[in-house]
Chain A
Amino acid sequence: MPQFFSNKRLIVLLVSIIVLVALIGTSMKERDALTIPEQFFKDSVGWLQSVFYKPANSVAGLFESVEDMKDMYEENKLLKSRLNEFVALSEELKEVKKENAELKNELNIDPSTGISNYQTFHANMIARSPDRWNDLLTIDKGKQDGVEANMAVTTPEGLIGKIKNVQPFSSTVQLVSDVDRTNRIAAMTQEDENVFGTIEGYDTERDVLLFAKIPVDTKVKKGQTVITAGNGGIFPRGIVIGEILDVETDNVGTTQTAYVKPAADLYDINNVMVIDRGAQTVTPSSEEGDEE
């Protein structure tokens, strides 16, 4: 193969390697927004993807519901027995909420500015990154529907990720399992006392999240539920992330790391909720000024 290593082609190869490195370098940088052509491509392909995804998903859903029907009777019995419990609990919740509102009122806290206050809107997943290196989803709501970058995305079971990029009619969700050094979430557990830490990464082999930077003198136990802390400013407090499987002290011995099993199934995702904490986090002072 004399042609294969001809000078001209070798130069083309070397130039394209340089271009590759430059492209990766520029696109790896923290970017606030995608360029217009990127947005355009993502949006138009996103529309086509939804044309393919929705029928496939409904066919899969049909099989699933046939499967579900087998367990329906058992499940129904169980649920009926839990129903009374639920009524009691919801009464209690109402009571507690009312009391909370009253207490907040006494302390002059505007109920709408709470750290755990948010509204949600629903979206459908339309595609998922086929190479598992990048765990990104595309959903069918975009800037036009009020989605903004960095909003939390959940399924009914728990947190699955955050909005990474927004296009006018679709947006990209970065799952919590995506290995990326910027993919960090402030988290906490609230069993007896509040214990804060950060979700710092994902162990691809064990399929667990790493809940790190927990102070070594605090007690974190197996089975505790980890929720978002909400002090990052973008996520509200109280979205379930998962359950602690195991706790380890770091090599240095100053912090602990807990392994957290995500509450949401990161693969069986259909409908997601995007959580909008609203504008109150951006201008808390001006809102307080307007109050009187």
Chain B
Amino acid sequence: MKQLLLSGTLFVLFLLEGTVFQVFAPEQYGFEFQLIPRFVTVVVLLVGMYLSPMFGVIFGVIFGLLHDLIYTDLVGVYMFGIAVSAYIIGYLSRVFQLNLFISLVLVLLGFSMLEFYVYELFSLINVTNLSFNSFIYDRYLPSLILNGVFMLIVYFPVKRLLEELSESRRQEN
């Protein structure tokens, strides 16, 4: 039941990224910078941290693949990216005592890994010709702030859900 709730939340976030958020995207109002919503990635990273890295990888593969199929032409880019960053962040999180601040830093680290990986890959295969400078200032930094704020908003409800989930998994074992 709880698992279904988690998957459902992720799917709704996935839909919001491409629909509702695009209605309010800053480019429409003449701003130079881009805000890239990576809400699904943020929650998947939290799953990797609070549930287990393996769960992070599974959700990362599923929602990354969905993102690839629906929003891009290249299959595999986000599937690999989200899964790997969820795995790395999941393992890194075991070193630390998790609290709000550490979680925020780790989520932003995972987000940065994904963003740089996608940028480098897409530059390599000529999907984009954006220069590194404008990538950093017009895209990466504003998006970092957006996703950081999003993480702060969803942190407590998602954390509670994930802790309940890992509790019930422990009882089953």
Contact = CB atoms under 8 A, between A and B. Distances in A.
A96 interface: no
B19 A205 contact: no
Given A56-B20, A132-B139, A204 B72 contact: no
Given A24-B77, A41-B69, A267-B27, A126 B19 contact: yes
Contacts, number: 123
Interface centre among A38, A126, A204 (most CB of B within 10 A): A204
A133 B80 contact: no
Interface in B28-69: 28, 34, 36-37, 66, 69
A269 to B, nearest CB: 9
Interface residues of B, number: 45
Interface stretch (A46-54, A150-158, A227-235): A46-54
Interface in A34-80: 38, 41-42, 45, 48-49, 52-53, 56-57, 59-60
21 contacts: A4-B91, A13-B84, A19-B76, A20-B80, A24-B76, A28-B73, A41-B66, A41-B70, A45-B15, A52-B16, A53-B19, A56-B24, A60-B23, A130-B71, A131-B118, A134-B71, A136-B72, A138-B18, A204-B130, A204-B134, A268-B28
Given A23-B75, A57-B23, A131-B36, A42 B70 contact: yes
A184 to B, nearest CB: 14
Interface stretch (B100-108, B120-128, B157-165): B120-128
Interface in B86-131: 91, 94-95, 118-119, 122, 125-131
Contacts of B37: 130
A127 B83 CA distance: 24
B147 to A, nearest CB: 12
Given A23-B76, A53-B22, A127-B18, 14 more contacts: A13-B84, A24-B125, A52-B16, A52-B20, A127-B70, A130-B21, A133-B119, A134-B127, A138-B70, A179-B127, A180-B127, A204-B130, A265-B28, A268-B28
Interface of A: 1, 3-4, 13, 16-17, 19-20, 23-24, 26-28, 38, 41-42, 45, 48-49, 52-53, 56-57, 59-60, 126-134, 136, 138, 164-165, 179-181, 201, 203-205, 265, 267-268
Contacts of A52: 15-16, 19-20
Contacts of A181: 126
Contacts of A136: 71-73
Contact of B17 (A1, A130, A138, A265): A130
Contacts of B72: 129, 131, 133-134, 136
B118 to A, nearest CB: 7
Contacts of B79: 20
Contacts of A45: 15, 66, 70
A23 B91 CA distance: 27
A1 B93 CA distance: 11
B18 A129 contact: yes
B80 to A, nearest CB: 5
B164 to A, nearest CB: 26
A128 B22 contact: yes
B34 A132 contact: yes
A133 B22 contact: no
Contact of B24 (A41, A60, A126, A265): A60
